[in-house]
């Protein structure tokens, strides 16, 4: 039987791929806060990319942090992973709706080929644990209830297919008789909070309410998501790095699902302003609903989501306001 984890323990030496991104930069901050030595790898270089610099503002001068600007499709990896207790593999092209058409070659290279390279390097230098950022999108359309990890995946976008392929690569590598790496794939459910990517709903709705461009509302707004706060996701990832469990797949979501229209209502309530919208058709690959059965993660990681949607959205609003000349709302 699998043992349960001690919540909150962090690895001593960690590598975070995708470190300059939304979730990766929060993970770097949390690991440094827990005393870990962290190597962050990303092809976005904070010396030339203002978004990356802003995300990593708290980490770049930290004595425990080393940033390496590199592309995982080509860069040498074993030297970076040599001393690591855990590699957190978050680097990927993350958009669902933008994964159709010409960009698919880049999606497969960054999300599948690079993941294979990361896994091979983990094996070469005997990294004990890889934590992989998988996606709720691997489930596709479901019956509407909470999805458990045992449900047969049914990915409905090129992105979702690439994330499922990455997850399967983790399982295949960890399953090799000669492999010493264990892999924990976390199926993250629509993550939000400060530094959220600017293609995502909550940031776009807040920006629209604050006077930015109107929100493109895809479909009727009746679609539902299990919106999960980034701080809760980061705690789960850290717990997954040290939990005394074998290779596995875990849902990281709240177990609560909310319609897009209800998110817009929450944003209007918090800002005291309307969210202007342009109505557009439902986008290919967007599923109607996601809802996590998170009981395996709760059981195996000793983890629980802590942040209610309005609390998390109000933190995201506070972060936007802190970077805006005209602060609005609560």
* Nearer to ligand NAD among residue 284 and residue 330 (C-beta): 284
Q: Sketch the per residue contact string, 95 through 134, with ligand UGA: x for CB under 6 A, - otherwise.
A: xx--------------------------------------
The alpha helices in 199-329, defined as continuous H runs, are 201-209, 230-242, 260-271, 295-301, 309-322
DSSP structure string for 11-23: -SEEEEETTTSHH
Query: Are 30 and 103 within 8 A, CB to CB?
Result: no
Q: Which helix (H) or strand (E) holds 89?
A: strand 86-89
What residue 21 binds from ligand NAD, ligand UGA, none (CB within 5 to 8 A, per partner kind)? ligand NAD
What is the contact surface with ligand NAD in residues (CB under 6 A)? 18, 20-24, 42-44, 71-73, 90-94, 110, 114, 133, 135, 163, 188, 190-191, 197
Query: Burial, 229: exposed, middle or buried (Cβ in 10 Å; 0-12, 13-18, 19+)?
Result: buried
- Fill in the per-residue mask, 209 to 248: x = in contact with ligand UGA (CB under 6 A), - = not in contact: ------xxxx----x-x-----------------------
Give the integer Cα–Cα distance in Å for 287 and 109.
Answer: 24
Which of 158, 329 has the CB closer to ligand NAD?
Answer: 158
Neighbours of 141 (CB within 10 A): 11
Q: Find the binder of ligand UGA among 25, 37, 115, 137 (CB under 6 A).
A: 137
Q: Is 41 in the site for ligand UGA (CB under 6 A)?
A: no
Q: In whole angstroms, give the CA distance from residue 114 to residue 107.
A: 10
Q: Which of 17, 162, 190, 307 binds ligand UGA (CB under 6 A)?
A: 190
252 binds, among ligand NAD, ligand UGA, none (CB under 5 to 8 A by kind): none
* Given 107, 132, 159, 192, the catalytic residue: 159
Question: Phi/psi of residue 176, each to 5°?
Answer: -65, 140
Asked whether the beta carbons of 155 and 164 are under 8 A apart, the reply is yes
Task: Determine whether 159 is an active site residue.
Answer: yes
Active centre residues (catalytic):
159
Q: Would you tell me which residues interact with ligand UGA (CB under 6 A)? A: 94-96, 135-137, 188-190, 200-201, 204, 215-218, 223, 225, 260, 283, 286, 290
């Amino acid at each position: 039987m699998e043992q349960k984890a001690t919540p909150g323990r962090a690895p001593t030496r960690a590598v975070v791929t995708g470190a300059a991104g939304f979730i990766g930069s929060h993970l770097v901050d949390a690991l440094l806060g827990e005393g870990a030595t962290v190597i962050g790898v990303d092809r976005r270089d904070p010396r030339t990319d203002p978004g990356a610099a802003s995300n990593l503002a708290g980490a770049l001068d930290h004595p425990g942090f080393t940033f390496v600007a590199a592309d995982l499709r080509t860069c040498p990896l074993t030297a970076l992973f040599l001393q690591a207790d855990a590699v957190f593999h978050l680097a990927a092209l993350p958009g669902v709706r933008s994964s159709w058409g010409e960009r698919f070659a880049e999606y497969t290279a960054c999300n599948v080929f690079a993941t294979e390279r990361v896994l091979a390097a983990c094996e070469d230098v005997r990294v004990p644990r890889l934590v992989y950022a998988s996606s709720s999108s691997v489930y596709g359309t479901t019956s509407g209830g909470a999805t458990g990890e045992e449900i047969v995946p049914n990915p409905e976008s090129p992105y979702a297919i690439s994330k499922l392929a990455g997850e399967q690569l983790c399982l295949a590598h960890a399953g090799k008789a000669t492999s010493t790496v264990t892999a924990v794939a976390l199926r993250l459910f629509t993550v939000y909070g400060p530094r959220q990517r600017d293609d995502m709903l909550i940031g776009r709705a807040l920006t629209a309410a604050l006077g930015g461009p109107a929100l493109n509302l895809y479909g009727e707004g009746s679609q539902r998501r299990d919106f999960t706060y980034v701080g809760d996701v980061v705690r789960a990832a850290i717990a997954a790095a040290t939990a005394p469990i074998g290779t596995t797949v875990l849902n990281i979501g709240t177990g609560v699902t909310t319609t897009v229209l209800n998110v817009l209502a929450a944003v209007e309530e918090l800002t005291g302003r309307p969210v202007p919208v342009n109505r557009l058709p439902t986008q290919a690959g967007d599923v109607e609903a996601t809802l996590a059965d998170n009981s395996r993660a709760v059981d195996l990681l000793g983890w629980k989501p802590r942040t209610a949607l309005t609390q998390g959205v109000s933190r995201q609003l506070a972060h936007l306001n802190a970077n805006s000349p005209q602060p609005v709302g609560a």
